[in-house]
Chains A and B, each alone.
Chain A
Amino acid sequence: DSGVTQTPKHLITATGQRVTLRCSPRSGDLSVYWYQQSLDQGLQFLIQYYNGEERAKGNILERFSAQQFPDLHSELNLSSLELGDSALYFCASSDPPPGYTFGSGTRLTVV
Chain B
Amino acid sequence: QKEVEQDPGPLSVPEGAIVSLNCTYSNSAFQYFMWYRQYSRKGPELLMYTYSSGNKEDGRFTAQVDKSSKYISLFIRDSQPSDSATYLCAMDSQGGSEKLVFGKGTKLTVNP
Q: Which residues of A are at the interface with B, using a C-beta cutoff of 8 A?
A: 2, 4, 31, 33, 41-43, 45, 48, 55-56, 58, 90, 92, 94, 96-105, 107
Contact = CB atoms under 8 A, between A and B. Distances in A.
Contacts of A103: 43
From A100, A102, A107, residue with most partner B Cβ within 10 Å: A100
5 contacts: A48-B98, A48-B99, A94-B96, A97-B96, A98-B34
Could you say which interface size class chain B belongs to?
20 to 34
A2 B45 CA distance: 8
Nearest to A55: B98
Contacts of B90: 99
Nearest to B6: A42
B63 interface: no
Given A99-B34, A99-B100, A102-B43, 16 more contacts: A2-B45, A42-B102, A42-B103, A42-B104, A42-B105, A43-B105, A45-B99, A58-B99, A90-B43, A92-B43, A97-B32, A97-B96, A99-B46, A101-B46, A102-B36, A104-B41
Interface of B: 32, 34, 36, 41-46, 49, 51, 88, 90, 94-105
B43 A105 contact: yes
Nearest to B92: A98
A78 B94 CA distance: 29
A99 B42 CA distance: 17
A100 B102 contact: no
A30 to B, nearest CB: 11
A78 B78 CA distance: 44
Contacts of A58: 99
